[in-house]
Amino acid sequence: MDNIWKSGIYGLIIGDAVGVPVEFTSREDRKKTPITDMTGYGTYNQPEGTWSDDSSMVLATLASIRDRGRIDYKDIMDRFHNWCMYGAYTPFDNVFDIGIATSRAIIKYGNGAEPLKSGGETEWDNGNGSLMRILPVCLHIFEKQKKLNLSDNEALNIIHNCSAMTHAHLRSKMACGIYYFLVKAVIEKDGEITERLQIGIDNAFRYYRLNTGVEISSYNRIISLFEFKDIPEENIKSTGYVVDTLEAALWCLLNTSSYREAILKAVNLGNDTDTIAAVTGGVAGIFYGYENIPDKWKSQIQRKDLIESLLV
């Protein structure tokens, strides 16, 4: 797999790991004692460089894509089940963090539900659990669009299905779709990060306005990133709600000028620190490149052997 995959996957996993020790801490706490480096222990009492459910599900998806050469929903769900039940794709064979909606979907699947009928469909099923793991799907679909001339409809249908395995409400599917357009623009286009991300947003809104109607209004705050960039920090929420997570990640990307700065800004927002830093880190890794992720952080990551084995 090429350097874009390595940059994005490491970017996500390292962001996750920087956020893990302070997950669920308040923004006020982070103002008093800001995170300035990769640390350990804290919320889950895990050693430095430990990544959580975000990265485990990314690696499970990556392993499936590598082995199958395509998106195989059942195979991905089988791997999610192995992670949830047996600690596969974790640093220490132990699952210490899992979202309620994700857990419920995997249990439903284990009880016989079809992969695409496992995720919750209600308004209350819009956590960030599919957005946090969608990056490998985005990268795979980007390559397929290039090689096979997949239409946006075909590409987005696959991305929406991958969300639906755990989060089937249209708002969650759309967050994954918007992320795809952002990743695609960052890879394909030239210019500063704000310019590239704005192209992604423009393409996403154009697509969803034609295909999904009013639900896109949930994301209206990010229509103009040049305006959104200037929203004060106190008006950026860092919760596990999928809209808040996507907004927070974008805000961090727009208001920083390096991978390191983007991750620290995401983590110091507090609350759902690991996922917001992971979502931020995937895009930041691709934009700034693997070589611009701090060497110290790369060296501190647990189970690099597992990560490297899936990036060959």
pLDDT of residue 2: 63
**Confidence check: pLDDT of 175 > 60:** yes
Kindly report each contact of residues 202-208 with a partner whose C-beta sits within 8 Å and lies 24 or more positions away, as own/partner.
Answer: 204/177, 204/178, 204/180, 207/152, 207/156, 207/177, 207/181, 208/174, 208/177, 208/178
Query: In the chain, which residue ranges form alpha helices assigned H by DSSP?
Result: 3-19, 27-32, 53-68, 73-86, 100-110, 135-148, 152-164, 170-188, 193-211, 225-228, 242-254, 259-267, 273-288, 295-300, 304-310
Amino acid at 191: G
Q: Using one digit for the tens of pLDDT, what is the confidence trace for 78-95? A: 999 999 999 999 999 999
134-148 b/e (C-beta count within 10 Å ≥ 16 → b): bbbbbbbbbbbbeee
* Closest C-alpha among 256, 298, 261, 259 to residue 282: 259
pTM over 0.85: yes
Residue 69 has pLDDT above 90, yes or no: yes
Is 274 marked as binding a ligand? yes
Is 52 annotated as contributing to ligand binding? yes
Q: Each residue of 117-130: pLDDT tens digit?
A: 999 999 999 999 99
Known binder of ligand: residue 257? no
- Of the pLDDT bands very low, low, confident and very high (cuts 50, 70, 90), residue 56 is very high
**Cβ atoms 76, 165 nearer than 8 A:** yes
Q: Are 13 and 293 in contact (CB under 8 A)?
A: no
Token pair for residue 219? 């994301």
Nearest to 72 by CA among 88, 87, 54, 60: 60
Closest CA to 131 of 98, 96, 94, 178: 178
Q: Is the pLDDT of residue 76 over 70?
A: yes
**Type of residue at 3:** N
Is residue 25 within 8 Å of residue 273, measured between CB atoms?
Answer: yes
Mean pLDDT over each residue of the chain, to the nearest integer: 96
Domains of the chain with CATH codes: 3-310 (1.10.4080.10)
Q: Which of 90, 42, 70 is nearest to 307 (CA)?
A: 90
Burial of 235 (0-12, 13-18, 19+ CB in 10 A): exposed
Average pLDDT over residues 162-174: 97
CA dihedral 166, 128, 262, 191 (to 10 degrees): 70
Q: For residue 26, is pLDDT > 80?
A: yes
Per-residue pLDDT band for 280 (boundaries 50, 70, 90) equals very high
**Is 273 within 8 Å of 303 (Cβ atoms)?**
no
pLDDT at 1 over 70: no
Total Cβ atoms within 10 A of residue 95: 18
pLDDT exceeding 70 applies to what percent of the chain?
A: 99
**In the predicted model, what is the mean pLDDT of residues 139-157?**
94
Whether the pLDDT of residue 199 is over 80: the answer is: yes
53 appears as a binding residue in the annotation: yes
> CA angle at residue 169 from 199 to 51, to 5 degrees?
75
Measuring CA to CA, which residue among 310, 311, 278, 284 is closest to residue 131? 278
Phi, psi of 5 (to 5 degrees): -60, -50
